């Protein structure tokens, strides 16, 4: 079709090609879904009656080291945009640089924190220079996929929920200009909750609202600040995220469908956040710190109780939404794509192990104590994620007091014997009696940086307990031992999963293990932790192959020597979203 005019917000209804247009949108983040399943998930979105895909762009994955950019494989944003276009989906792009998204540091790269004066999400020169450098690369990829150039992008969001942060009145104008000056010509939006609407807008961008429960006063307020403009619920929260040590949040279809029905009746547009949540693979989940005494880390699953489950299954919500959205289409909706088969593979037995202590000579080392972000590793970009080991010599017993300087959690050892855990709750440990010089080791885990709220600048990880510590970066290599020799902890544990046919999705279960990380064929599936709620880790079929698959578990404290598999997930005891 020849394209005359893209998405416009000049009256109380959106228009596309000068015809009334209803945004029926849903969020699916390419970085939370294995690339092999992008098409499956987007086809299921289309079959549900949605016409618009929204996605964030995670700066921390695309620029893992300053000046080093990655837009390949799992991060091939252009391939994702082309796929959406080929399936007839429009795209609203939310390029950040800050995305929240329950993602580590809201998607901002941790190397920004090497600058001790850094002020994130402001016009502080160190921040704007980094944003400009990233946007120079990102926008080259984005601009050709705009509607006016024949692509699927009909709108671009300026930053994200700035109204609830709002530390610098010059920041949003800077961010808007960062888009315009690099060739963004489509409709600009901002996105805020009701409170944030007061301070999150920027002249020339349509303001949109985020919520779960419909409050008529909020809609009135939006109308008041923006009369005769179309209304879009940019984030209609279809569920909620989970925190380690809490319960699994569910938001029932009976609660959700009437609200979505009402939104559509009011002739508003909608974007379901999330339509399909996916997974926080690796060390990417953020932490929550609003209204609680200390940050709480988010779980690995980002199922979100969304209409399409973590593994891409249809849910009750999905079928009810499909029925509802079908009334907004002149043609019948596409047939449902077939359901992915899954397998509960037979349990596998750990056949060898490697103690953390035996792997240290393969690691990087620093003689002075600095936080993770300032470690002299990764071409001086610091260490972004995972664990860091701090060591010093002690000559007396007594009490170790962290003075709450551990970020976020440390396993404490004296001469490699486990003494206890220091975290936000436990800040004192009695050290065992002993004579002479002994080695005090603290294995400090970054459990995830806060992704929302006013404390972003304070998310440096590690500790500064003592000024003679050495630092290490952990890598698994070295002399593996058979399980006939008793393992020591923490340690790496290796098994082989043999797959005799076309690989299917599965879920890993680790009863009898306490806390750690699982790798399959070198890919980091994420963290597990016996405190729950989540009790299984999603293993995508495309990450397995026929024959032997290598499974490595890094475990902190205990193992029962085997890895189990299930054909369905266990997210733990549930609680309704309040």
Tokens 């416009």 locate to 8
**Which residues make Cβ contacts (< 8 Å) with residue 385, sequence separation at least 6?**
104, 110, 282, 283, 284, 446
Report percent pLDDT > 70 for the chain. 97
What top-level class would CATH report for the domain 348-352+479-576?
mainly beta
DSSP state of 146: B
303 touches 569 (CB < 8 A): yes
User: Which of these ranges, 63-72, 182-191, 356-365, 540-549, has the smallest mean pLDDT?
Assistant: 356-365
Question: Would you put residue 571 in left (φ > 0), alpha (ψ -120 to 50) or beta?
Answer: alpha
Question: Mind giving me the DSSP string for 441-507?
Answer: EEEEEE---B-SSTTGGG---B--S-TT-EEEE----S--EETTSPP-SSEEEEEEEEE-SS--BEE
Give the pLDDT mean for 536-558. 98
Identify whether 428 is a catalytic site residue. Answer: no
Give per-residue pLDDT as tens, 509-521: 999 999 999 999 9
pLDDT tier for residue 375 given thresholds of 50, 70 and 90: confident
Across the chain, mean pLDDT equals 95
Superfamily of domain 364-473: Galactose-binding domain-like (2.60.120.260)
Q: What is the CATH number of domain 15-239+254-326?
A: 3.20.20.80
Give the pLDDT mean for 276-302. 97
Give the pLDDT mean for 270-283. 98
| Domains of the chain by residue range | 15-239+254-326, 348-352+479-576, 364-473
Give per-residue pLDDT as tens, 391-439: 888 888 889 999 899 999 999 999 999 999 999 999 999 999 888 999 9
Which run of H or of E encompasses 270? strand 269-273
- The alpha carbon dihedral of 178, 181, 184, 188 has a sign of positive
End-to-end CA distance of the chain: 46
State residue 160's pLDDT score.
98
Tokens 């704007």 locate to 128
Identify whether 235 is a catalytic site residue. Answer: yes
Give per-residue pLDDT as tens, 356-370: 998 887 677 777 778
* Options 186, 207, 235, 556, the catalytic residue: 235
Give per-residue pLDDT as tens, 495-506: 999 999 999 999
Q: Considering only CA atoms, which of 418, 315, 286 is closest in space to residue 357? A: 418
pLDDT tier for residue 468 given thresholds of 50, 70 and 90: very low
- Model confidence at 46: pLDDT above 80: yes
Give the pLDDT mean for 10-35. 98
State residue 469's pLDDT score.
39
Q: Considering only CA atoms, which of 294, 287, 245, 288 is closest in space to residue 446? A: 287
* Options 63, 159, 161, 207, the catalytic residue: 161
Q: How far apart, in whole angstroms, are the C-alpha atoms of residue 157 and residue 179? A: 9
Give the pLDDT mean for 155-159. 98
Report percent pLDDT > 90 for the chain. 90
State residue 369's pLDDT score.
73
Give per-residue pLDDT as tens, 207-229: 999 999 999 999 999 999 999 99
State residue 1's pLDDT score.
56
- Model confidence at 470: pLDDT above 50: no
State residue 361's pLDDT score.
74
pTM check: above 0.95: yes
Q: How far apart, in whole angstroms, are the C-alpha atoms of residue 212 and residue 206? A: 20
The reply to whether 15-239+254-326 and 364-473 are identical in fold is no
Count of Cβ atoms closer than 10 Å to residue 109 Cβ: 24
């Amino acid at each position: 079709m020849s394209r005359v005019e893209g998405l416009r917000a000049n009256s109380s209804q959106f228009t596309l090609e000068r015809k009334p247009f209803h945004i029926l949108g849903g969020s699916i983040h390419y970085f939370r879904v294995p690339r092999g399943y992008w098409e499956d998930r987007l086809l299921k979105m289309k079959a549900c009656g949605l016409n618009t895909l929204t996605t964030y762009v995670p700066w921390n994955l695309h620029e893992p080291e300053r000046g080093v950019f990655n837009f390949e494989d799992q991060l091939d944003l252009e391939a994702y945009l082309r796929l959406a276009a080929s399936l007839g989906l429009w795209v609203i792009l939310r390029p950040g640089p800050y995305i929240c998204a329950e993602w580590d540091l809201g998607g901002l790269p941790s190397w920004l924190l090497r600058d001790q004066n850094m002020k994130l999400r402001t016009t502080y020169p160190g921040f704007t220079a980094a944003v400009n450098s990233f946007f120079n690369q990102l926008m080259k990829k984005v601009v050709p996929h705009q509607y006016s150039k024949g692509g699927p992008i009909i709108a671009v969001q300026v930053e994200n929920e700035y109204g609830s942060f709002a530390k610098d009145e010059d920041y949003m104008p800077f961010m808007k200009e960062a888009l315009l000056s690099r060739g963004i010509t489509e409709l600009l939006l901002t996105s805020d909750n009701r409170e944030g609407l007061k301070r999150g807008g920027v002249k020339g961008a349509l303001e949109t609202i985020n919520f779960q429960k419909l409050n008529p006063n909020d809609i009135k307020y939006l109308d008041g600040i923006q009369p005769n403009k179309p209304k879009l619920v940019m984030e209609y929260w279809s569920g909620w995220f989970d925190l380690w040590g809490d319960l699994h949040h569910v938001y029932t279809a009976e609660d959700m469908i009437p609200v979505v029905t009402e939104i559509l009746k009011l002739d508003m547009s909608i974007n379901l956040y999330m339509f399909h949540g996916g997974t926080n693979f690796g060390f990417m989940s953020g932490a929550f710190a609003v209204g609680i005494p200390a940050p709480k880390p988010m779980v690995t699953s980002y199922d979100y109780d969304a209409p399409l489950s973590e593994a891409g299954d249809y849910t009750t919500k999905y079928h009810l939404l499909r029925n509802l959205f079908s009334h907004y289409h002149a043609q019948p909706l596409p047939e449902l794509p077939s359901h992915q088969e899954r397998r509960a593979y037979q349990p596998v037995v750990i056949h060898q192990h490697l103690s953390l202590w035996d792997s240290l000579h393969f690691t990087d080392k620093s003689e002075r104590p600095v936080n993770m972000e300032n470690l002299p590793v990764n071409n001086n970009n610091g260490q972004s994620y995972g664990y860091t080991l701090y060591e010093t010599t002690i000559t007396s017993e007594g009490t170790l007091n962290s003075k709450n300087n551990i970020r976020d959690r440390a396993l404490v050892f004296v001469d490699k014997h486990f003494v206890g855990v220091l975290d936000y709750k436990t800040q004192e440990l009695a050290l065992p009696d002993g004579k002479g010089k002994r080695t005090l080791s603290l294995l400090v885990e970054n459990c995830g940086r806060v992704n929302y709220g006013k404390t972003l600048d304070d998310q440096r990880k590690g500790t500064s307990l003592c000024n003679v510590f050495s630092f290490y970066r952990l890598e698994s290599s070295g002399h593996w031992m058979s399980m006939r020799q008793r393992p020591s902890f923490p340690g790496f544990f290796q098994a082989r999963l043999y797959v005799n046919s076309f690989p299917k999705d599965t879920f890993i279960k680790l009863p009898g293990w306490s806390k750690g990380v699982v790798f399959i064929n070198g890919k980091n599936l994420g963290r597990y932790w016996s405190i729950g709620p989540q009790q299984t880790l999603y293993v995508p079929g495309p990450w397995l192959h026929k024959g032997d698959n290598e499974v490595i578990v890094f475990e902190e404290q205990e193992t029962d020597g085997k890895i189990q598999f299930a054909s369905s997930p266990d997210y733990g005891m549930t609680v309704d979203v309040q």
